Amino acid sequence: MAAKTTKQNPIPSVWARPQPRADQPTLNRNAIVREAVAMLDADGIEALSMRKLGARLNAGATSLYRHVATKDELMELAVDEVAAEIHVPAADGSDWRAAVSEAAGSFRTTALRHPWLSSVLGQAGLAYLGPNLMSFSERLAALFKGAGFLEPERAIETVMAYVVGMSTTEAAWLTTIARSGESEADFIARLLPAAQQAAAGHAHLEGGYADATAATQDPVAVRDGKFAYGLEVVLDGLALRRPE
């Protein structure tokens, strides 16, 4: 009796299937992804649809779906496209903390340039299989391995959990400010009285809002300082796990 074969479902990732040939010279996967990133940067995730993207590219839905089967696949590709902008220093063994801090800062800069990135990174299917994110992870692994960490993957996960979390919150904050049409300093100055009133009666919180001069005068420096402080705490903890 012949053995029964079970047909497996395809892996739900754009990276798990071959790229089709372009059916017209100007329409290919790269062109589609570049336009999608431009739409995401300008209007956010909610505004992106395959129909609108096709209209921007003067292409029908059938042509688009030959290159990108679903919106989820499109988001995988978009995430990997902007990941190419993240810089990770070479692993020369000189100062692993400075190198990891530089890489984390570059990720944050990229995430704030593309405010949708952090919020969809964990939702975009198997986006981490993309070549640019693979290269990013490989270079981070080289930094931690060169520093003597026995489990570089866990160190990467720890750092990225902090960086992605902070970047998501910060990008959401900056998006809110952008929609207000005000500068960050003006927005904070207008928000501050409400925040001070809300904190009234909460002894441990009142002090934080009592003197908010720095936040209204140089909010970028304040955000930079918060990110740097948290990252130093994370790296302090990792350093304790590093073999002597």
CATH superfamily, with its number, for domain 96-240:
Tetracycline Repressor, domain 2 (1.10.357.10)
Mean pLDDT (whole number) for 14-41: 76
Region at 186 (left for phi over 0; alpha for psi -120 to 50; beta for the rest)? alpha
Structure tokens at 12: 């739900």
Is 182's pLDDT higher than 60?
yes
Looking at the DSSP assignment, which residues form a beta bridge with residue 24?
27
Confidence of residue 144 (pLDDT cuts 50, 70, 90): very high
User: pLDDT for 201-241, tens place per residue?
Assistant: 998 888 777 766 667 788 999 999 999 999 999 999 999 99
**What is the per-residue pLDDT for 21?**
56
Confidence of residue 18 (pLDDT cuts 50, 70, 90): low
Lowest average pLDDT, out of 42-46, 105-109, 117-121, 158-162, goes to: 117-121
**What is the per-residue pLDDT for 157?**
93
Confidence of residue 192 (pLDDT cuts 50, 70, 90): confident
* Domain chopping of the chain, boundaries: 14-83, 96-240
The answer to whether residues 85 and 132 touch, using CB atoms and an 8 Å cutoff, is no
pTM over 0.75: yes
Report the CATH number of the 14-83 domain: 1.10.10.60
Angle at which helix 96-113 crosses helix 71-83, to 10 degrees, equals 130
Q: Which of 112, 14, 88, 29 is nearest to 64 (CA)?
A: 29
Mean pLDDT (whole number) for 28-53: 91
User: pLDDT for 68-108, tens place per residue?
Assistant: 888 888 998 999 999 999 999 998 877 999 999 999 999 99
On the 0-12 / 13-18 / 19+ scale of CB atoms within 10 A, 235 is buried
**What is the per-residue pLDDT for 152?**
93
Cα–chain-centroid distance for residue 228? 17
Q: What type of residue is 157?
A: E
